[in-house]
């Protein structure tokens, strides 16, 4: 007698409900971040008026944002990184479960160009252009609460930096670089360091 042992399972017996996260969109006038839950009739909103008026990073500096700039939700759907547009640009982090806003950075006379979340959602980077006009890269580590930068030993004042991709080690990234006067592009691998110690980093690996 032949005995057949079936070790599989029909598709219906192990249905997995996909995990979905609320999208975050800019309102048409860019005055509001709209968080759309499963029930479209009850969206949550973050308005410019609800942002902190004074910087916690630079006390005495006040925000008067004209509009939101960019917004990017983390891969795990728990947070949204955003920026505002004004003389003082606020880089903020919105907790989508509590709607609490955290100030991450202030960029004076500049703008945020892109956000880049790490796949594990533990940190994010942002390309920005300050008053000097030379593009730079900064980041934020959600686990340690540290602001992250590229050591000044890795570039000159006339160098444009931009995020390319994540490296294999924590805080390791690959950046594209363009240096004046040739503007010839190249890439370099660097380890991001704490903003509190901007010059205590090893040289980039080739």
Please name the helix (run of DSSP H) or strand (run of DSSP E) that holds residue 109, with its range, or none.
none
Average pLDDT over residues 65-84: 96
The pair of structure tokens assigned to 132 is 């000097």
**Among 49, 140, 29, 50, residue whose Cα is nearest residue 91:** 140
**Among 122, 123, 149, 146, residue whose Cα is nearest residue 136:** 149
Contacts 24+ apart (CB under 8 A), 181-188: 188/154
Assess contact for 120 and 170: CB atoms under 8 A.
no
Asked, as a colleague might, if the bond just before 170 is cis with ω within 30 of 0, I would say: no
Set out the domains of the chain in order of their start, with CATH numbers: 21-194 (2.130.10.120)
Q: What is the pLDDT of residues 111-145, one digit of tens each?
A: 999 999 999 999 999 999 999 899 999 999 999 99
- Residue 130: per-residue pLDDT: 92
Query: Which one is predicted more confidently, 44 or 82?
Result: 82
Q: What is the pLDDT of residues 161-177, one digit of tens each?
A: 999 999 999 899 999 99
Task: Map residue 49 onto helix, strand or coil.
Answer: helix
* Other Cβ atoms closer than 10 A to 80: 24
Flag whether pLDDT at 37 surpasses 50: yes
Does the predicted TM-score (pTM) go above 0.75? Answer: yes
Q: State how far the Cα of 26 lies from the Cα of 32, in Å rounded to an integer.
A: 6
Q: State how far the Cα of 20 lies from the Cα of 22, in Å rounded to an integer.
A: 7
């Amino acid at each position: 007698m032949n005995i057949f042992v079936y070790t599989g399972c029909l598709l219906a017996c192990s249905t997995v409900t996909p995990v979905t996260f609320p999208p975050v969109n800019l309102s048409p006038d860019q005055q509001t971040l709209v968080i759309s839950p499963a029930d479209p009739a009850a969206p949550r909103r973050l308005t410019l008026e609800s942002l902190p008026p004074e910087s916690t990073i630079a006390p005495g500096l006040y925000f008067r944002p004209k509009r939101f700039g960019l917004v990017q939700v983390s891969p795990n759907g728990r947070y949204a990184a955003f920026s505002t547009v004004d003389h003082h640009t606020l880089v903020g982090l919105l907790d989508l479960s509590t709607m609490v806003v955290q100030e991450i950075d202030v960029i004076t006379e500049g703008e945020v160009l892109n956000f880049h979340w790490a796949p594990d959602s533990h940190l994010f980077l942002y390309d920005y252009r300050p008053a000097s006009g030379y593009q730079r890269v900064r980041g934020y580590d959600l686990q340690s609460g540290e602001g992250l930068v590229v050591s000044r030993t890795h570039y000159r004042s006339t160098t444009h930096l931009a995020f390319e991709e994540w490296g294999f080690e924590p805080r390791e990234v690959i950046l594209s670089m363009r240096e004046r006067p040739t503007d010839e592009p190249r890439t370099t691998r660097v380890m991001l360091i704490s903003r509190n110690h901007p010059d205590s980093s090893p040289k980039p690996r080739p």
